[in-house]
Amino acid sequence: MKQTVKQFLFLFMLSIFCSPLWAQNNWDGAWNDVSITQINREEAHTLAIPFASEEDVIHKSIEESPYFLSLNGTWKFMWVPDPETKPEGFQENNFDTSEWDDITVPSVWQLYGVRNGKKWDQPLYVNVRYPFTYDEDYSVMADRPQEWTYNNDMKNPVGSYKRDFSLPADWEKRDIYVRFNGAGPGYYLWVNGKQVGYSEDSYLPSEFNITPYVKPGKNTISVQIYRFTSGSFLECQDFWRFSGINRDVFLWSAPKTQIRDYFFRTDLDDEYRDAKVTLDIELTGKKLKRGNITAKLVDSNLQVVAESEISNPVLGVNTIEMEVDNPDKWSAETPNLYNLILTLNDGKNTIDIRGGKVGFKEVGIGSRGELLINGKRMVFHGVNRHDHSQIGGRTVTKEEMENDVKTMKRLNINAVRTSHYPNNPYFYELCNKYGLYVLAEANVETHANMGLSSVELFRKPMVERNHNHVKWMRNNVSIFMWSYGNESGGGNNFESVEKAIKALDNTRLTHYEGNSEWSDVSSTMYGNYDHIKFIGESRLNETSPRPHIQCENSHAMGNAMGNVREMFNLYEKYPSLTGEFIWDWKDQSLLMPIPGATNEFFWAYGGDFNDHPNDGTFCTNGLIFADFTLSAKSYNTKKIYQPIDFSLNEDGTAFLLKSKLDFKSTEDLAIYYTLLEDGKKIKTEKLDVVLLPGEIKEVVINENALMTKKDAEYFIRFNVYQKEARWWAEAGYEVATEQLQLQDAVKPTYEIPATGGLSFTENGDEIKISGNTFEALFSKKEGTLVSYISNDRQLISSPLALNLFRLPTENDVAQSGGWDEMGIRELTVDAGSWDVNVSDAGSYADLQITNRYNAKGSNIYRVDFAFKVLSDGTIFVNTFFEPKLKMSVLPRIGYRLEMPENFEQLTWFGRGPWESYADRKEAALEGVYNSTVTDQWERYVLPQETGNKEDVRWMSITADDGVGLLFVAPERMSASATHYCPEDIYQNRNNRKRHPHEVPFTERTIVNLDAVMRGLGNASCGPDVMDQYELRAESTPFQFIIMPITAAMDNNRLSEKARVESPVCQPVVISQEKDGLIRMTTATSDGNIYYSVNESPFTLFTTPFALPEGGNIKAYSSAEGLHKSITTEVDLLMFIDKSEWKVIDYSSQAAGDEAYKAIDNDETTKWHTPYNRPEPRHPHTIAVDMHETYLVEEFIYTPRTDGLNGNIRDFDLYLSNDPDNWGDPVVSGRFERGPSTKRVKLEEGISARYFKLVAKSEVNGRAWTSAAELGIVASSKE
Q: Amino acid identity of 798?
A: S
Active site residue: 282, 445, 464, 487, which one?
487
SS3 58: helix
CA angle 956, 962, 968 (to 5 degrees): 20
SS3 811: helix
Distance from the Cα of residue 1139 to its chain's centroid: 40
Q: Could you give the C-alpha distances from 528 to 260, 556, 1021, in angstroms and in order?
A: 47, 15, 11
The partner residues of 851 in beta bridges, in order of sequence, read: 863
Active site residue: 370, 400, 552, 945, which one?
552
What backbone phi and psi angles, to 5 degrees, belong to 1054? Answer: -65, -40
Q: Could you give the C-alpha distances from 1119 to 408, 848, 1035, 1082, 1101, in angstroms and in order?
A: 54, 20, 22, 11, 14
Q: What is the DSSP letter of 329?
A: B
**CA 1031/CA 443 separation, integer angstroms:** 42
Which of 523, 602, 605 has its CA nearest to residue 557? 605
Q: Amino acid identity of 1136?
A: I
Residue pair 302/274 in contact by the 8 Å Cβ criterion: no
**CA 757/CA 38 separation, integer angstroms:** 92
552 is catalytic: yes
464 is catalytic: no
Q: What is the DSSP string of 476-545?
A: -TTEEEEE--SS----THHHHHHHHHHHH--SSEEE-SS--SSSSSEEEES--HHHHHHHHHHGGGSSSP
Q: Give the list of residues 6+ apart from residue 956 with CB closer than 8 angstroms, or none.
A: 905, 906, 907, 908, 964, 965, 966, 967, 1045, 1049, 1054
State the helix-helix crossing angle for 425-434 and 459-473, rounded to 10 degrees: 50
**CA 1016/CA 1009 separation, integer angstroms:** 18
H/E stretch holding 877 reads: strand 875-883
Residue pair 408/436 in contact by the 8 Å Cβ criterion: yes
Burial classification of residue 777, based on how many CB atoms lie within 10 Å of its CB (0-12 exposed, 13-18 middle, 19 or more buried): middle
What backbone phi and psi angles, to 5 degrees, belong to 624? Answer: -125, 165
Tell whether the torsion through CA atoms of 720, 721, 723 and 729 is positive or negative: positive
Which of 298, 301, 363 has its CA nearest to residue 324? 298
Helices (H) and strands (E) in the chain, counts: 14, 77
Q: Could you give the C-alpha distances from 145 to 32, 125, 152, 231, in angstroms and in order?
A: 20, 17, 8, 22
Residue pair 971/1067 in contact by the 8 Å Cβ criterion: no
**CA 337/CA 329 separation, integer angstroms:** 8
Q: What is the DSSP letter of 132?
A: S
Say if strands 415-418 and 437-441 run parallel, antiparallel, or are unpaired: parallel
CA angle 927, 930, 933 (to 5 degrees): 125
Q: Give the list of residues 6+ apart from residue 987 with CB closer than 8 angstroms, or none.
A: 825
Q: Could you give the C-alpha distances from 1109 to 1097, 1112, 1121, 1137, 1245, in angstroms and in order?
A: 19, 11, 37, 12, 16
Q: Give the list of residues 6+ apart from residue 621 with CB closer than 8 angstroms, or none.
A: 555, 556, 557, 583, 584, 587, 588, 1020, 1021
Residue pair 771/761 in contact by the 8 Å Cβ criterion: no
Active site amino acids: 487, 552
